[in-house]
Amino acid sequence: MKVELLIEAENVVTPVGKEPLRGKKMKLEVLEKVYIVVNEGKIADIAESDSPYDPLFKLKAKLVLPGLVDPHTHIPFYGYREEEFVMRAQGASYLEILEKGGGIINTMGKVR
């Protein structure tokens, strides 16, 4: 089968499930020695073998990670919010972070 791209990956790190998770429910799965099939700009398959694929391009990768491209930018910078990141990773809701003085309202106050 003709495909645009075939990535031979030693390890693919992927989130488990389709719903957003937070805190201790966050879990990553590592797939070993798999092939990522890309067609029409989207992942079409993750296979254990490269046959029956006939790729236009073929790549080899040691590690493939999920990513997010967030192209927006903020001109003013008012410090890192790593404490909020830690709270989110521990399962805190945005409301709980707000109640502890963090969140977007805190940032807006610094910008003004």
DSSP 61: E
Closest C-alpha among 84, 78, 73 to residue 107: 78
Query: pLDDT tens-digit profile of 2-42?
Result: 999 999 999 999 877 667 777 877 778 899 999 999 999 99
Tell me which of 63 and 51 has the higher pLDDT.
63
Domains in the chain, ordered, with CATH? 2-64 (2.30.40.10), 70-112 (no CATH)
Burial category of 18 from C-beta neighbours within 10 Å (exposed 0-12, middle 13-18, buried 19 and up): exposed
| Segment 86-95, tens digit of pLDDT | 999 999 999 9
**pLDDT score at 25:** 78
Instruction: Provide the H-helix boundaries in 5-103.
Output: 82-89, 94-99
Q: What pLDDT is stored for residue 63 in this prediction?
A: 94
Q: CB-based contacts of 57: which residues, under 8 Å, 6+ apart? A: 4, 5, 6
